Structure formats: C-alpha cells, structure tokens
Amino acid sequence: RHVSNTPSSREEVSNLKKLLDDRLTARQARENGICPIREELHNQCFDELIREVAIDCPERGMLLVRVRDELKMTISAYQTLYNSSVTFGMRKQMQSELGTPQLEEDIVALTAKKTLFKDKLIELGKKR
C-alpha cells in the first residue's frame, strides 16, 4: 500500500466516507447493535483518519491514537461486564428453577398447617 505525506483534501475525506458506506453495504453490516463487521470497518476508517491527521500534525495524531486505545479498552471492559452479568443471570435463573419444587412443597405443608390452626381456633372458640 502506498502512504502519502500530503494532507488529505475534502474530496479524499468524502471518498473515504463513500468507501466506508460501500464496504458496510457490501459486507452486510448491521446498522445498529453489536456487529463485528461494522466494528472492523469503522476501526479501519478511524486508523486511516488518524494517519491523515498525523501527517498534518503528529501530536494530534498521537492524541487520537491514545483516545482510540482508551475507547478499545473501555469497550472491552463493558463486554467483560456484560458477559459476567449474563452468566450471573443464568446461574440465578437455574438456582431459582431448582428451588421451585421445594418451595411448592413448603406451600402445601404450610397451607395444611394453616388449616389445622384454623380448625383448632374454631374448636377453642366453641369451648368458650
């Protein structure tokens, strides 16, 4: 690939946008939600923008690299958090499903006990 040292023009930026849109369409990237294809193409586009900015101002390019890396770490942390919360939710659901038969048995036993106490109460009320 040929790397140019000249700053990009508005037309080149417009062409980059059109190229991104064309590639998103060609690879059938989803417009919203989590889409690895869209993420990959946007990363490539952002890298190209960083390259173009760095040609004009290396300090600004380095700052954009830091911002990009920080965003990647943040997204990775959110993905880890999401995965652990899904795992936690599934574990809790399984625990609740396993405990349901025992709870149903407890309800039956307590209902029977309640009936016995009501009968006793009526009996004691008749003795008065």
Residue 62 in this model has a pLDDT that exceeds 90: yes
Relative orientation angle of helices 36-56 and 58-127, to the nearest 10 degrees: 140
Region 68-90: what's the mean pLDDT? Answer: 94
Residue 7 confidence (pLDDT): 65
3-state DSSP call for residue 121? helix
Token pair of 104 as six digits? 């149903």
Residue 69 confidence (pLDDT): 96
How high is the mean pLDDT of the chain?
Answer: 88
Token pair of 80 as six digits? 């880890």
At 2-41, the pLDDT tens digits run 456 666 678 888 888 898 889 989 998 888 888 889 889 9
